[in-house]
Structure 1
């Protein structure tokens, strides 16, 4: 979440995409939408009726109708359903993974949108690839060892926070599909780890690493000295920071790392008055996690990060003088700040909204944390943080100490204040920061600001952004695809002839995303 310092910025002007829908007009019978590089990301319109007793059968039949547009020969054998759900308006959104030899291709997905067999659109990414191998030559346990070595995670210095498993996937590299084991490593230590490591399944070499710890440069009584009411649990004569009042299968819980990097301890209090200095960060983490949960449940009926009531776990007092907060795939983790530039990182609801939304995105679109999809991942978290806070368009200003050099991390109203682009003409091409995910997020951030202020409602804008993420975006959606996704979401919620639809078109056009 923090500003990455990029020493060399290469600016590029991007050609406008072929995507255009007239303001207020209903979709034509069929439109093929492309990004600025000419790659198809959506086919929308009245695509006809398909048959099938299951959502997967209907989806496969629908894909055959657009095979020429995306460039594949047939759907059966090339795609396999991952999951399907019916939205509040009765439309089924069926997600399918591209497969080669029955093995998933990382980042190549399709989403079929249909209602009672009537197909209204297909979202996705496809590229024909040549597989490098048909079966693995190394064991999955070897791949796990290679991934641990690559990330530096050892039993002595780290605590694993997620199960280690190796999934066989094809990784697109140029025109090839490289057979790899995808190993997700989640661990807490001096340097937190949340990485997807792709280990070549033939020779054991490291093909790719995606580091998903999104850094932030980055209160009973909270961090800012304000008094809050928090839900706790009484057990064996002590009160715990555990909230069991929400309509979820899990709980909302905050624990203490006592300025260490691997162990966690329950937060307890004898009289249920959480007013000591060391409790302040925990009070805010607990309170704000509940606030974020309530927004998602009350506004879009999402029950926790996984929509199945999972526990929301927060860890405070991570490491010493740690200027960071991050979602590590299991926990929201907050440092204390250095006391010069930053306070405790749990002291801002927009920061906590941001971190929790990373978890939501992981469970919905799964936006890959690199390049444009990574910038969208960051931007969607910023947007929901701003919606839930509802105060201004700055990110993290409440934890910035006056005189410490920072007034906030980013501005959605004017990204350029903090050195971020606000238009595609200023897009930064870089290999740093996973392709500038914290920098180029300024462009979709500005688009969200444009939309929310034009319609006069952060809540409506947040609903549109959430539905786009859940139903109309794949793991490799780019900026042009995000425009299409949000337009499909606003059309589904409010109609393609609504003023919201027109305002959203203008919001994206004004940042150069077409």
Structure 2
């Protein structure tokens, strides 16, 4: 298997930004467009709006930019999804585009407003013509069609039961009424996917595979033979479990055992709270590193777990046999043991665990669609946080590679070309493989993050900018150009638009050909 295929399994067009001034606009108003001429940001002091809530102000703000984005009015074209107030008091209100009251997949706007002043609007609006107003197919038939298309066995164990939601799927200038069927199934081939089933005829229009690769105190030995202490566990009637109850979260951090199967889950236990058997090593690392990832997010960006609301972090080790992979399936972090020749147990690398859990964070912030440029950003954001939380080098997954097995790492953020990935937009790979090259083209934003972090002199500061961008300034279909704009907005919010950090972000993206 070649290196690119391995890297894809493991961790799960030059862009230009045009600026134009509108007649009669505020003096500092900037309309930002991508290489195809589509507006993705309107920024500046856009004026005052009134309203009793952030949501009401958001609708008023959209009226100020409707001519820029190309919609006639906000009412009837959008509905509020959620609103968040950041540390500076700015409200970031996300709205979904709707047709006939039904969400248009991937089409969102974010209004940035503070004390009634509109600071900018981020988004993606398309004037689409709906093919139908009502479904002809029922939910059960849509789910059956989706599962059949994904080859899910009839007796599969579901981590997330199939759910069908009516959405419009953009297809050129049309909005096709579909059921978005979402599910996560365990098995020899784990699958977590969104399958879009045409609600009028049952055909499959698109599939997005969302498997993203790659209060007692004890001690344990990890995959690399190193001691992990303290190891937070739970004592129940003299038996110790890999359950961490010490974190300030509503849930817990828990690690369990799949015993080289693919569906049955068993607790990991010990009698003396010294976890030092060879079999326990994978569980020790999964548990210890999950706690470190939680601690980084809580300490540095005040995020309480993956969803921001204290959800449990569940890890499963010893998945299947000789399984060269790790993945986040929306509920669990799942780790294979590796084949023992090429790769070690996949819980043995902090950067891999931070990478995979950050996929969960992204799912709850920007929700970047795991396809094409937004998917490459999804991968890159996980690499950026993985490299930051690990902090030792700019390689991903090097601790998993067994000497002599043919691989030294999966990716390099410092020099993506070492592992066959592009480091500049003039090397961008247009492909339909791997959801549009999400692992390959992530090399470009990866290099941008490396540029920014090294220019600033702090991975943590750069990661705070990246996290804030995903939380407040990126939609689910943000592309590379939009990511540059989002990280600049985040840098301005955190450090000021005239700061050295802001300039480092601008220069970091320019160096990889993203403007």
Question: TM class, shorter-chain normalised?
Answer: over 0.9
Q: Residue 367 of structure 2 aligns with which residue? A: 366
Aligned with 2:232: secondary structure?
coil
Q: Residue 84 of structure 1 aligns with which residue? A: 83
1:159 aligns with 2:180: no
Residue 18 of structure 1: how far off its partner (Å): 1.3
Cα distance in 1 for residues equivalent to 2:75 and 2:213 = 41
Output one character per residue of 1:403-425: Cα deviation in whole Å (capped at 9) or x when no partner. Answer: 11110000000000000000001
Residue 163 of structure 1: how far off its partner (Å): 2.9
Residue 153 of structure 1: how far off its partner (Å): 1.8
Aligned with 2:464: secondary structure?
helix
- Contact 2:15 / 2:480 at 8 angstroms: preserved in 1? no
Q: Residue 306 of structure 2 aligns with which residue? A: 305
Q: Residue 10 of structure 2 aligns with which residue? A: none
1:438 aligns with 2:439: yes
Residue 4 of structure 1: how far off its partner (Å): 3.6
Cα distance change, pair 153–5 in 1 and its aligned pair in 2 (3 A) = closer
Q: Residue 222 of structure 1 aligns with which residue? A: 222
Q: Which protein, 1 or 2, shows the higher relative CO under an 8 Å CA cutoff with sep ≥ 6?
A: 1
- Contact 2:4 / 2:420 at 8 angstroms: preserved in 1? no
Cα distance in 2 for residues equivalent to 1:472 and 1:28 = 22
Structure 1 gaps of 5+ residues are 7-12, 22-26
Cα distance in 1 for residues equivalent to 2:283 and 2:180 = 35
Residue 56 of structure 1: how far off its partner (Å): 1.4
Structure 2 gaps of 5+ residues are 7-12
Output one character per residue of 1:312-354: Cα deviation in whole Å (capped at 9) or x when no partner. Answer: 0001011111110111111111111111111000000000000
**In the comparison of the two structures, how many residue pairs are matched?**
499
Cα distance change, pair 28–295 in 1 and its aligned pair in 2 (3 A) = farther
- Contact 2:20 / 2:31 at 8 angstroms: preserved in 1? no
RMSD, aligned α-carbons? 1.5
Q: Residue 49 of structure 2 aligns with which residue? A: 50
1:105 aligns with 2:101: no
Residue 214 of structure 1: how far off its partner (Å): 2.5
- Contact 1:240 / 1:267 at 8 angstroms: preserved in 2? yes
- Contact 2:20 / 2:30 at 8 angstroms: preserved in 1? no
Cα distance in 2 for residues equivalent to 1:215 and 1:309 = 24
Cα distance in 1 for residues equivalent to 2:492 and 2:20 = 15
Cα distance in 2 for residues equivalent to 1:337 and 1:434 = 24
Counterparts in 2 of 1:142-181, with a 5 A limit?
A: 142-156=141-155, 158-181=156-179
Could you list the structure 1 runs, at least 4 aligned residues long, displaced by more than 4 angstroms after superposition. Answer: none
- Contact 1:395 / 1:409 at 8 angstroms: preserved in 2? yes
Aligned with 2:220: secondary structure?
coil
Q: Please, what TM-score do these two structures have when normalized by structure 1? A: 0.95
Residue 55 of structure 1: how far off its partner (Å): 1.3
Q: Residue 417 of structure 1 aligns with which residue? A: 418
Cα distance change, pair 134–461 in 1 and its aligned pair in 2 (3 A) = same
Q: Please, what TM-score do these two structures have when normalized by structure 2? A: 0.95
Q: 1:188 aligns with which of 186, 189, 201?
A: 186
1:199 aligns with 2:200: no
Most deviating of 146-155 and 307-316: 146-155
Q: Residue 114 of structure 2 aligns with which residue? A: 115
Output one character per residue of 1:93-118: Cα deviation in whole Å (capped at 9) or x when no partner. Answer: 00000000000000000000000110
Cα distance in 1 for residues equivalent to 2:281 and 2:145 = 40
Most deviating of 229-238 and 340-349: 229-238
Aligned with 1:83: secondary structure?
strand
Cα distance in 2 for residues equivalent to 1:214 and 1:452 = 24
